[in-house]
Chains A and B, each alone.
Chain A
């Protein structure tokens, strides 16, 4: 066997190994335009009030071979809260609630991921909101994924969970706006 042939065999083997490693964990960047973070809060026991956070960013790491290696790192701009009423948004950003000038970001960083079934993951991580960090475990649904028209691969995931705002030191107006807040986080993330 000539040296040139040996070289190409070794090179091919290295490329195969590299390709496999890359295939194991892919990091996807959250697409803020196609992602959403919604909240639902009660209003004086009469109705629900919905709103959203308009700025969401971060990454999702997916390991097709071993989903326990998946990771979520999500950041939401607290000041981007949008309830459809400017004065209410100002109040929600104030020290009475989110105190967005002191705590500008809401973050979730996963610490462990457990696959439940083919479409569901149980993700445990740390939610930091209003300057308070608490462990949180949520169920994440894998909505879909595939080749993107823009190039690269896109994945979609969604999670619905509930928190108590008093756990995060937001104890103002608990009679008017109940403690439990429902959150829906829908992510579309891509890599190129």
Chain B
């Protein structure tokens, strides 16, 4: 094939691939929106995520804007910080959400599930562990965490956790001002282990927590601003 014909063909294919970003219609736009996101997604491969922090004034503003319980969250692996406030309570669980449509579910002050963060913790069985932590007792408990695989199957990771009670820590941030004890939970399974840390006050409320929420999320910490 002549060089000219080959180049015309290459140009036409490139043009049509470009046109794909401009596909239009009046029906469901989900897939065309997804295709339009591709250039941005491809450009950001390998780029480090931008760290985002929350300044103290923002904390003050958030507390003033809503009477609901709220917390300051930090995703350590992505150096991302955000504030979420309580949007629903169901039995022993409460759900905190943000305007960017992400949510984290709690049992008291212990995180039990996440949504919208990518590689989410789908659900967990932590009632026994919660009883130990909130009661500021040493002991051991079983702790299950459930995740979705890329194949859309659910995997359950079971851990044996043992708690120890450590030093006294004062917690003073937002509307929280209390004396707490640090409770450390070390969880092991099949040669892998992680350590969660909690600051629990006399009434059994978990006012701060640093928990491992899975391979994708890593360690996430929450500091209650208003319990």
- Do A and B belong to a common assembly? no
Q: Which residues of B contact A (CB under 8 A)?
A: none
Q: Which residues of A contact B (CB under 8 A)?
A: none
